Amino acid sequence: MGRSEVLMERAQKVIPGGVNSPVRAYSSVGMTPRFIQRADGPYIYDADGNKYIDYICSWGPMILGHNNEIVREAVIRACENGMSFGAPTELEVQIAELITESIPHIEMVRMVNSGTEAVMSAIRAARGYTGRDKIIKFSGCYHGHSDGLLVDAGSGLMTAGVPGSAGVPAGCTKDTLTAVYNDLSSVSALFDANPEQIAAVIVEPVAANMGVVLPKDTFLSDLRKLCDKEGAVLIFDEVITGFRLAFGGAAEYYGVTPDLVTYGKIIGGGMPVGAYGGKKEIMEMVAPVGTVYQAGTLSGNPIAMTAGLAQLTILHDDPQIYAELERKGSRLYTEMAALADTYSRPLTVNHVGSLGCGFFTDRTIENYEDAKTSDTAAFAEYFKYMLNHGIHLAPSQFEAMFLSAVHTDELIDETLTQFEGYLQQA
């Protein structure tokens, strides 16, 4: 048995499923997860010393690659000043100023500790601001694991084939309405059926938790217009797309302005950070200024702020990073599609910027129902082959591939070579 197998046996005795987040368990691909010992640049190394080109990148945060020297050294220095104070620090002001000065639609921002916390807080602010209870989400979108959002959810729930969760009382989800991604009429119908009751529409502007599903031509701008007409708050959940598609996220990339935005992943530079922000009139509903309560012991933690500020500063100061991510992402994903076509294998590749995924189906994938037609057994075979040939992918058809700034053209060539090897032997 390798170290990962030994560690998994130990882990399963003391941690549910041996993991601290379900998607890491490799359940849908029927393998023992690789226990990771270290990571550097585009590479990750498991407990048996195997080296992989990493396309999980910690599920998005490591956009600069692992162990970025500037971020690491800043964190080490910050630790020498103390780990946590539970009091305001200049660091929190600096990162908030960087975000609000660089992203026009973010007038104020509040730091929390995860994407889940950011989303639940943004929804509470929207409800407090409008005085309305209902929200609209989209099937297949995942917004973290707060009770009210575990409805027709993507990510690990979709991987497990259970769009909901036990332990969530009906009272927690009765105000959560579900629409079809890319289908504006399904949203309008919900507004018509619930006049003046809907506080917010929350959407992943690029859905990346049912695999990657792009917004169709006017979907996001149509949502903007509909929310304006109905007096509802438009929330972009940019936990994945924020600071990835552009510094201003999908809002900048697609030119559509949300009222609130939620962040996670990249904003923390690898440390646990989430955030929500947007219109000042909504954000000033939040305590201690307003009557919407939200709090957190480690919110704005100085070590986490140091990592986030260092990473965001690098991204802000070097826009060429995004141009390169776009170029390399486009090359990787279009060449994957071309190879599958050469070998007559059904593969629909959806991608934008450095985000992408291959669906094992020949259908066009525009929503949750389309995504569910994918051949997850074929995906599992692909995943296993690539892992055994040094490519570390998300262990689920319904997740995304993440490129970092240090994935070179040579590594993309190596990845494509391994992908062709998979196609040749399949």
Q: Return residues touching ligand KE4 (CB under 6 A).
A: 21, 23, 59, 114-116, 119, 142-144, 155-156, 204, 209, 237, 239-240, 264, 274, 399
What is the 3-class SS of 171-227, one letter each residue?
HHHCCEEEECCCCHHHHHHHHHHCCCCEEEEEECCCECCCCCECCCCCHHHHHHHHH
Choose, from 142, 253, 322, 422, the residue flagged as catalytic. 142
Choose, from 137, 265, 279, 328, the residue flagged as catalytic. 265
User: 34: which residues sit within 8 A by CB, 6+ positions away?
Assistant: 4, 46, 47, 50, 52, 387, 392
Residue with Cβ nearer ligand KE4 (155 or 418):
155
Dist CA 403 CA 383 (whole Å): 17
Q: What are phi and psi of 372, to 5 degrees?
A: -70, -10
Which structure tokens are listed for 323? Answer: 């141009």
Dist CA 315 CA 103 (whole Å): 13
Catalytic residue flag (residue 409): no
Residue with Cβ nearer ligand KE4 (114 or 418):
114
Residue with Cβ nearer ligand KE4 (142 or 191):
142
Catalytic residue flag (residue 222): no
Residue with Cβ nearer ligand KE4 (22 or 290):
22
Query: How many residues make up the chain in this entry?
Result: 426
Residue whose entry in the numeric block shows the structure tokens 């922000």: 277
Q: Shortest approach of ligand KE4 to residue 399 CB, angstroms? A: 5
Q: Shortest approach of ligand KE4 to residue 318 CB, angstroms? A: 25
Catalytic residue flag (residue 333): no
Alpha carbon distance, N-terminus to C-terminus of the chain: 27
Residue with Cβ nearer ligand KE4 (114 or 415):
114
**Helix, strand, coil % over all residues of the chain, rounded to 5:** 45, 15, 40
Give one DSSP letter per residue of 323-391, joined into a string.
Answer: HHHHHHHHHHHHHHHHHHHHTT---EEEEETTEEEEESSSS---SHHHHTTS-HHHHHHHHHHHHHTTE
Residue with Cβ nearer ligand KE4 (128 or 156):
156
Q: Shortest approach of ligand KE4 to residue 116 CB, angstroms? A: 3
> Are the C-beta atoms of residues 44 and 52 closer than 8 Å to each other?
yes
Q: Shortest approach of ligand KE4 to residue 170 CB, angstroms? A: 23
Q: How far is CA 240 from CA 34, 62, 169, 274, 343, in A?
A: 23, 11, 28, 11, 32
**Can the peptide bond before residue 288 be classed as cis, meaning omega within 30 degrees of 0?**
yes
Q: Shortest approach of ligand KE4 to residue 332 CB, angstroms? A: 19
Residue with Cβ nearer ligand KE4 (230 or 238):
238
Sheet holding 51-54, edge to edge: 36-40, 43-46, 51-54, 391-392
Residue with Cβ nearer ligand KE4 (163 or 290):
163
Residue 109's Cβ-side half-sphere holds a number of Cα atoms within 13 Å equal to 28
Select the residue whose beta carbon is closest to ligand KE4 and give its number: 115
Choose, from 152, 237, 259, 370, the residue flagged as catalytic. 237
Dist CA 226 CA 66 (whole Å): 41
Dist CA 395 CA 31 (whole Å): 9
Q: Shortest approach of ligand KE4 to residue 273 CB, angstroms? A: 9
**Residue 98 carries which side chain, given as an amino acid letter?**
L
Residue 177 forms beta bridges with which residues? 136
Residue positions annotated with a catalytic role? 142, 237, 265
